[in-house]
Amino acid sequence: MKRIKILVIDDDESLRRVLEYNLAQEGYAVLTASSGEQGLEFLRKESVDLVLTDVRMPGMNGLQVMEEVRKLDPSIPVIILTAFGTIEAAVEAMKAGAFHYISKPFNRDELKLTLRKALEMKALERENVVLRQALKSRNDLDSIVAESASMRHIVEMIRRVAPTETTVLILGESGTGKELVARAIHGLSTRARGPFVAVNCAAIPENLLESELFGHVKGAFTGAIRDRVGKFEAADGGSILLDEIGEMRPELQVKILRCLEERTVERVGDNRPIRVDVRVLAATNRDLSKAIQSGGFREDLYYRLNVVPLTIPPLRERREDIRALTQHFLTSLGAPLRLAIDPEAFRALEVYEWPGNVRELENALERALIFHRGDTITLLDLPETIRAPRSREATSLPVSLPETGLSLEKVEKDLILRALQKHDWNQSRAARYLGITRHTLLYRMDKHGIERPGGRGGHGEERDAPMESPDATPS
């Protein structure tokens, strides 16, 4: 079992020795430093669980040390050592974030009790973070809407692969929910109490990605002013998601492959291997087989990652999920329970192609919540790209061309009539079918003298339309 490591900082050598002896007797590993500057050097190189520092020292004082400790790792508790005459400074330190203070000469029992409380608090805070993350990951499976057969298959695959240690490659277009799937896998795994770390390989500059993933030592490159833990070390005991791994340059792919094979990483500027216990999940929107052929992706890494591939279908191929996704997002975005969606608006959501997939749907509904008025989301509340997309149905409408020529006006009149008949003379639906506004449809109905059978003209009201589009012309 890893021993708890305590850093003691005090310019009094005799006190440092007494503290080191007493702490060692309690089973702690102890580092000692004679100045704040030396103590911070240890902190940059060593993993420390608690800092015990004098408040008054030559050079950097205890308050300055504590400030730097909080910058390096805010989870490390700091206990201030203070002589009787510096109690006020110790109280100021507590206001600034110190866990507690101990007066010199110290009482051994008081020291033991204070240390135990500080370490218990740190352990509880760590457990809270892990539990919140585990709960979120478990909830992520519930957040996967799976009305369609293809998504029900994905959920079943998640349940089967999660308890294993298998590497999973998650494939799918941008916005399909690849990270959500990865979090669900982590949340159902034996690593759920460990960290989940997601790294977007496409969002980090190439020259910084290696340091981000593997960490670096002080002086490894310009700007490396202190040692830094990489994402693989941060994910130790848990899972790491390498999102958009297809964008990673081949030289770095070699290091990922070595990490998968040897379960070790090396920080930039250091050649000492650091053992890591991490499950690797990867995601990409690229066709990696084509990237292999072009030399952009390593074949050996591909086979290491592609143990279990999961392909998330685009939203346009699982339209059965749109209604449930819409309700899910409206609820998560805090929509009022009484809020309804106008059938015309919902039809627009159903027929849209969704190039941005689920993410685009969520953004569209968030916009609709901002702009809607009353208790209904209408067509006008949706983004223009969704309100008036290029109609698939309209563009595929068959038109026969006679040998003797034709009249453009007659073709237009026939198309409008056919659209109105197809939609039971519902003008809003017919207009949407034709890819025009209702106002334009009414104008062209008047132009061509089109009237609904039964004597109602082009401006007759529509009983079957629950709400007119706001761009309509009043009758």
* Residue 3 or 12, more confident: 12
| Range of lowest pLDDT (170-179, 285-294, 340-349, 435-444) | 435-444
Question: How many other C-beta atoms are found inside a 10 Å radius of the C-beta of residue 348?
Answer: 20
* Residue 86 or 62, more confident: 62
Q: What is the mean pLDDT of residues 370-392?
A: 83
Residue 241 β-bridge partners? 198, 281
> What rounded mean pLDDT belongs to the chain?
85
With contact defined as beta carbons under 8 Å apart, do 194 and 276 qualify? no
Residue-wise pLDDT tens digits, 113-123: 999 999 988 88
> What would the two tokens of residue 346 be?
């919902």
**What amino acid is encoded at 61 in this protein?**
N
Q: Are strands 228-229 and 168-171 parallel, antiparallel or unpaired?
A: unpaired
Query: What's the pLDDT score for residue 226?
Result: 81
Residue-wise pLDDT tens digits, 167-211: 999 999 999 999 999 999 999 999 988 899 999 999 998 889 999
Q: What is the mean pLDDT of residues 255-284?
A: 94
Flag whether pLDDT at 460 surpasses 80. no
With contact defined as beta carbons under 8 Å apart, do 302 and 295 qualify? no
Q: Are strands 215-216 and 228-229 parallel, antiparallel or unpaired?
A: antiparallel
Query: What's the pLDDT score for residue 426?
Result: 87
Identify the residue whose tokens are 């009787």: 84
Flag whether pLDDT at 314 surpasses 90. yes
pLDDT bracket for residue 52 (50, 70, 90): very high
Q: What is the mean pLDDT of residues 353-372?
A: 94
Query: What's the pLDDT score for residue 135?
Result: 54
Query: What's the pLDDT score for residue 10?
Result: 93
Identify the residue whose tokens are 């309100």: 387
Identify the residue whose tokens are 């008025």: 373
Query: What's the pLDDT score for residue 443?
Result: 79
Question: How many other C-beta atoms are found inside a 10 Å radius of the C-beta of residue 405?
Answer: 6
Flag whether pLDDT at 303 surpasses 70. yes
Query: What's the pLDDT score for residue 242?
Result: 98
Residue 16 β-bridge partners? none
Flag whether pLDDT at 275 surpasses 60. yes
H or E stretch covering 239: strand 239-243
Query: What's the pLDDT score for residue 400?
Result: 59
Query: What's the pLDDT score for residue 455?
Result: 55
Question: How many other C-beta atoms are found inside a 10 Å radius of the C-beta of residue 292?
Answer: 16
Tell me the DSSP string of 202-217.
TTS-HHHHHHHHHEE-
H or E stretch covering 53: strand 50-54
Flag whether pLDDT at 365 surpasses 90. yes
Query: What's the pLDDT score for residue 392?
Result: 46
pLDDT bracket for residue 402 (50, 70, 90): low
Q: How far is CA 60 from CA 9, 99, 397, 458, in A?
A: 11, 19, 79, 85
The percent of residues in the chain predicted with pLDDT above 70, rounded, is 87
Where does residue 219 fall: left (phi above 0), alpha (psi -120 to 50 degrees), or beta otherwise? Answer: left
Residue 281 β-bridge partners? 168, 241
Residue-wise pLDDT tens digits, 205-260: 888 999 999 999 888 888 888 888 999 999 999 999 999 999 999 999 999 999 99
Question: How many other C-beta atoms are found inside a 10 Å radius of the C-beta of residue 49?
Answer: 21
Query: What's the pLDDT score for residue 180?
Result: 94
Flag whether pLDDT at 136 surpasses 60. no
Classify residue 339 by burial, with Cβ atoms within 10 Å: 0-12, 13-18, 19+: middle
Query: What's the pLDDT score for residue 405?
Result: 66
Flag whether pLDDT at 438 surpasses 80. no
Question: How many other C-beta atoms are found inside a 10 Å radius of the C-beta of residue 345?
Answer: 25
Q: Domains of the chain, with CATH numbers?
A: 5-125 (3.40.50.2300), 143-313 (3.40.50.300), 319-389 (1.10.8.60), 403-475 (1.10.10.60)
Which residues, at least 6 apart from 195, have a Cβ–Cβ distance to it below 8 Å? 130, 133, 234, 235, 236, 237, 238, 239
pLDDT bracket for residue 84 (50, 70, 90): low
